[in-house]
Structure 1
Amino acid sequence: MSMSEDPVLERVRAIEDDFAEAMSRMYGVGNELARLRARLATEASPEQWTPVEAPVETPVEPLATTPVVETPVAAKPAAAVAAAGQPSPPPLAPGFVAPPPAPAAAQPPVLPPTAPLPPAEPWWQRDGLVAKVLAVVGAGITLIGVAFLLALAIQMGFFGPLARVVSGALLAMALVGAAVLVRRRPSGTVGALGLAATGFATAYLDVLAVTHIYAWVPLAVGMVLAGLIALGGVLLARAWDSQLLAIVAVLGVALLAPFVGMEHGLLTGAFLLVLAMATWPAQIGRDWWILELARVVPTGLFLTTLAAVHERTGLAALLAVLFALLVLGTSLAGARVPRLPQQLGLLVPVGVLPLGVASMAVDDRWSGTVLLVVTICMLVLVAGLADHPQGTPLQHRLTELALGAAGVASLFAVLRAGDGQGWTPVLGVGACLLWAVAALALRHSATLVVALSLAALATLGSLTLLPLVLLRGSSDDTAVRHLLATIGLAALFAVLAPAVTRILPDLAPTLPRALLVPALLWVGGSVVLLGTLVGQLVDDPRGGFTAAQAGATVVWMAIAATLLVRGLRGSTFAVPAGLALAAFSVGKLLLFDLSFLGGIARVLSFIVAGLLLLGMGVGYAQALERTRRAATDGPAPGPVDNSAPPGPISPSV
């Protein structure tokens, strides 16, 4: 058998041919990828990218086992490579396949230059600010010019009163008509607003002239005319969607009314109340909070002044009640109904201010107290019914603001009911205690803040009770109301401590522990005042005071012992609190009782306190030893179970 007919060699040649064909295909795929990459790079940024030439295809030499005559196989590839600017590869050995050409080095893409940010718009070009300022200033200058013209005409005798009024009315109508015409032109909004504002201001001045200066028409007629002008301005402002024009229309008549009707306060107040009520619908579908200030604040200030100085306080109080109902009702409606404008919660105190002043100004204190109680009830009702979604800004949160106003109103109610007499502290502490109990029951943070604020004021007011607790010479002045006030103070701080723990856990345990300190102190003060009152019953108030001081020390010692026992049951605060109270009681014994007490009171105070301290020490040591023994020994072992196992016993080895 010849070599050419050997099947093994034939199989090897077939495998070599297949491998050469596969390598040729792989090189073809690589060359095609290189062409595609070069084309994509050129199309992506033809100005920035360097053109990449397609690599030259390298012919693949078939593998052969027979000698091959040396031929210029690589001549054409070498020429192509030389044309591309690359060195010619060395001649290939017979029977070897040329390696794939190295891909061209990829150049990093050059990003296009970043366009510079547009320059910030100057402040004088934002929202037509300069145009609006010029319109307002122009309206003012125009009014001044009209006034100067009228003054000059009057001085020269050209215009009589009738001509002045008629010319003013004609000028106002002409300015409003010109504003309507200018509004129809492109970019005529600002000019139209200026002309309309000037026209309405001129109309108000004309009403001022016919009502107050010349007195040609009654005040009621003048108010009606001013109200019609204001309503016309508000309607035009809504048609043009201009809050500025609405503010000019409403604020103009609100500032005009007090000067016109200074001598007729009730009529003017009623007019402003009707104006505030009639202009409220102008805010529906708009976020015009400046207009809300313009329609509420002037009316509230005028009614407050009216309630303070007017002789007919009953009618002034009635107007104040109606104004409070208007402000609170619209505010609550805005918080409950999404379609209605959301009122500013900051105006709630303004709405109830006239009512508060009227309640303090009425002659009968119980009538004033009833008005304040009605105010508190309305504010609490608004706070309870207000429904705010999550994330409502503070200026729109009626709950917190209404409760704050109710807290202030409750303070005024206490002052009005007590009339500055001796029962005022008791009523004040009672009001604070009601707020604290409500906060603990409802677990409402805003109510708790009000209670804490009132408690701070009550603490300042309680300083007047200290002489009755510390000085023996004041024992004759002690009364039942003082005892009730001290008991109320102790209960107030005792309720506030758990309320803070449950409602404001971030402030725990520091603030609750701090609140327990005055509660314990006022417990001792209550004991002192109770003993003094008992001494008054037996015609010996000083003796009762002395015995009560010893009793207060004993009570504090007993409370300290109770705290130590509770500390052994797992409370980490009770032990140091009990030790601190015991130390305070010992200090009182040595510094106060030893100096101010005498006779049997001093002896009993020291003996009882000493026995309590001994008992506390022995009891605490025994309880602590029992606790340690129980922790060391562990639980007692149970009975041994010797019953047979439930299954068969496996054999052991």
Structure 2
Amino acid sequence: MESGYSLFHAVPMTDQLQDVRRLENEFADAMNRMYAVGNGLARMRAALEVQTATSPDTWSAHAPAAAPTAPRPSHAPAAAAPAPDSRVAPVTPVPPVPAAAPVPSWWQREGAVTRVLALAGAVVTLIGVALLLALAMQQGWFVPELRVALGVLLAVGLVAAAHVVRGRESRLGRSSAAPVAIAATGYAAGYLDVVAVTTVYGWVPRVAGLAIAAVVAVSGLLLARRWDRQLLAVVTVLGASLLAPVVTEGFGDDVSLFVVVLSAAALLVRGDRGWPMLAIARTLPATSLILAGIAVDAGDSAPSRLAIVAAGALTLLAVVGAVSAARHDRTDLVGSAIVAVSTIALLTAFGVHGQTLRTTGFALVAVAFAVALAVSSRGPVGPVPTPLATTFGAISGLSALLAVTSGAPERWVVSGILVTALGYAAAAVTTRSRVTLWVAAGTTVVASVAYLTHPAAYVDLWSARDHDAATALLDSALAGGVAALGAWGVDVVRGIPARIRRLTRVAALIAGLATSAVAVISVGLLLGEALGATSAGFLAGHALATVMWMVTSAWLLLHGLRAESRRALSLRLGLGLAAVSVAKLFLFDLATLDGLWRVVAFIVTGLLLLASGTAYARALERTRLPEATA
């Protein structure tokens, strides 16, 4: 009995001892983890104290003590405790992040006050000079010759003073806006002298006065180039441009030619490279003055053709400057703007003349910019940035459309627009240029809107009788060619997304169906007129158009089964076209057609629907059999 009792109690005692040992091990493991967490927190605290220090003195004064270690539990086994000192990496001091400096006010920035004072001083001085000249004339001070001489001396003295101030700043290693403002005031005073000797006193002819002003402007541009100051060049060009109509007491050919010469001088000084404000200053005022001259001459029976020469030269200078600036800066957009603005003056100059000169001029502008696009798209001139190339292409397309609408007879206007769109689409396919493709897309949109006059005329018999069926047939053939070449161009030009390609194919298919329907109805009308049965030809054309659409729908459904990659698209197009055919049959043909043609349309369309369904089922089954046996 005793041995049994001892054995009975030995088993539970052994289990309890194992539980105690297990709990001790888990407790030791937990303490070791807390010990590691304590060391990690200590290291992080030390690193943060170093980062928040603001100077080396602070580091030394508040140097963190050695990272404290968490006490190791006395009851944990010694072997289970890690050795933190051998594993803890030394803390590297991180230099403090300097605080962001406060942004100073505009008047605290370097050179801001100098520029403001210089500009204000230039304006005030110029006003004072003008008031002095006016007061001298009113009071009769000095003789006129002496007044002009004093004005010239003042202008020369201001420019000389600008040179002195510039030289002194260069020796001291400084640069400010003061010399530029002083020199600009001197050139403005020189312009006032030119006004005095031409308009006020009439001592020199107007052309001579413009020549003197050109000499003053060129000297200012050369000085601006030497000092590399765009502001001085801008002020010089603007002053001379605004002076021109004052000297000539109006607008006209003299002013137009003068501003073109001034623009050419400004272009030769810098070539628009890095000076966008100079490009604007030499183009926008010149364009405005040329347009003002054209407006003055617009009432005459024979407008001056010198405006065309001036506008053409200004446009050429704008193109050269834009290409030069684009080669220097690929992100330049000013060049595109000045080319577009200058072209407005050129197109306006051609637009005020007779039909022959107007149409010829628009056509020449279209060809010139198409050549500019081709030349600038590749070396050695290009390639120019996309915005500038797009501007060239857009101007070419717009000019071509203007040439067609202004010169073509009324009967062939739509045909001319379609031929224009066809030409740009062919150019896009040939050159594979994305910009040319965009121009082709723009002209195609215009051509599509113009073409809508034909299907709109075939809605009822009365309007169809009065419509030109021969022109509609020709335009339908041209429109179909535009749709085909447009889809081809989208396929061959690189960089076009796949979604755009698919949408273009669908749009080309829809355009082809619409143009083919118009062509079939046009043929029916022509045959009906020849046979003396216009009404029958119109009805036959509509019935055949519906049948043709249904045949195309069947072809799409069967073709989609042969090409796995295009099955879904062909199925959708085929079903959609079948739905359109049935809708036309019930909504239009049922109300418009009568007699035999209504019966033919319904019977043939119904038979085609049945045949399409049967053929599609058989073709689908044939495609499934190889898949099942594979």
Asked if TM exceeds 0.5, the reply is: yes
The whole-number CA distance in structure 2 between the counterparts of 1:521 and 1:323 is 45
Alignment of 1:498-537 (within 5 A): 498-503=488-493, 504-506=496-498, 507-537=500-530
Q: Secondary structure at the match of 2:258?
A: helix
Alignment CA distance shift 1:250-1:395 (3 Å): farther
Specify the code of the residue in structure 2 equivalent to 1:488.
L
The whole-number CA distance in structure 2 between the counterparts of 1:562 and 1:533 is 28
Alignment CA distance shift 1:474-1:127 (3 Å): farther
Q: Which residue of 2 aligns with 1:268?
A: 255
* Preserved CA contact (<8 Å) 2:111 2:176: no
Matched, 1:611 2:601: no
Specify the code of the residue in structure 2 equivalent to 1:554.
V
* Preserved CA contact (<8 Å) 1:336 1:387: no
Summarize deviations over 1:214-264 as a string: whole Å, max 9, x none: 322111110110001001111111222211111111111112113333556
Q: Which residue of 2 aligns with 1:228?
A: 215
Matched, 1:624 2:620: yes
* Preserved CA contact (<8 Å) 2:323 2:384: no
Return the offset for 1:516. Answer: 2.8
* Preserved CA contact (<8 Å) 1:182 1:189: no
Q: Secondary structure at the match of 2:458?
A: helix
Return the offset for 1:583. Answer: 1.2
Return the offset for 1:412. Answer: 1.2
Matched, 1:249 2:236: yes
Alignment CA distance shift 1:455-1:227 (3 Å): same
Q: TM-score, normalised by structure 1?
A: 0.75
Q: Secondary structure at the match of 2:202?
A: coil
Unpaired runs of 5+ residues, structure 1, are 1-40, 53-99, 635-653
Q: Which residue of 2 aligns with 1:439?
A: 428
The whole-number CA distance in structure 2 between the counterparts of 1:442 and 1:173 is 57
* Preserved CA contact (<8 Å) 2:251 2:296: no
Q: TM-score, normalised by structure 2?
A: 0.78
Q: Secondary structure at the match of 1:295?
A: helix
Summarize deviations over 1:350-383 as a string: whole Å, max 9, x none: 34333322222221x2332222222222212222
Alignment of 1:112-511 (within 5 A): 113-126=96-109, 128-186=111-169, 187=174, 189-261=176-248, 263=250, 265-284=252-271, 287-307=274-294, 309-310=296-297, 311-332=302-323, 344-363=335-354, 365-386=355-376, 397-418=387-408, 421-479=410-468, 480-503=470-493, 504-506=496-498, 507-511=500-504
Summarize deviations over 1:128-174 as a string: whole Å, max 9, x none: 23422332222112222222333333333325543432332222122
* Preserved CA contact (<8 Å) 1:335 1:387: no
* Larger Rg, first or second structure (1 or 2): 1
The whole-number CA distance in structure 2 between the counterparts of 1:316 and 1:109 is 77
Return the offset for 1:538. Answer: 2.5
* Preserved CA contact (<8 Å) 1:436 1:499: yes
Unpaired runs of 5+ residues, structure 2, are 1-49, 51-55, 67-82
* Preserved CA contact (<8 Å) 2:461 2:535: yes
The whole-number CA distance in structure 1 between the counterparts of 2:422 and 2:303 is 36
* Preserved CA contact (<8 Å) 1:266 1:315: yes
Q: Secondary structure at the match of 1:344?
A: helix
Summarize deviations over 1:375-430 as a string: whole Å, max 9, x none: 222212222222589xx9997853222112212112212212226x2311111111
Q: Which has the higher helix share?
A: 2
The whole-number CA distance in structure 2 between the counterparts of 1:393 and 1:115 is 46
Specify the code of the residue in structure 1 equivalent to 2:599.
V
Q: For structure 1, which segment, 369-378 or 582-591, has the greater mean C-alpha deviation from structure 2 after superposition? A: 369-378
Q: Secondary structure at the match of 1:598?
A: coil
Specify the code of the residue in structure 2 equivalent to 1:593.
D
* Preserved CA contact (<8 Å) 1:332 1:385: no
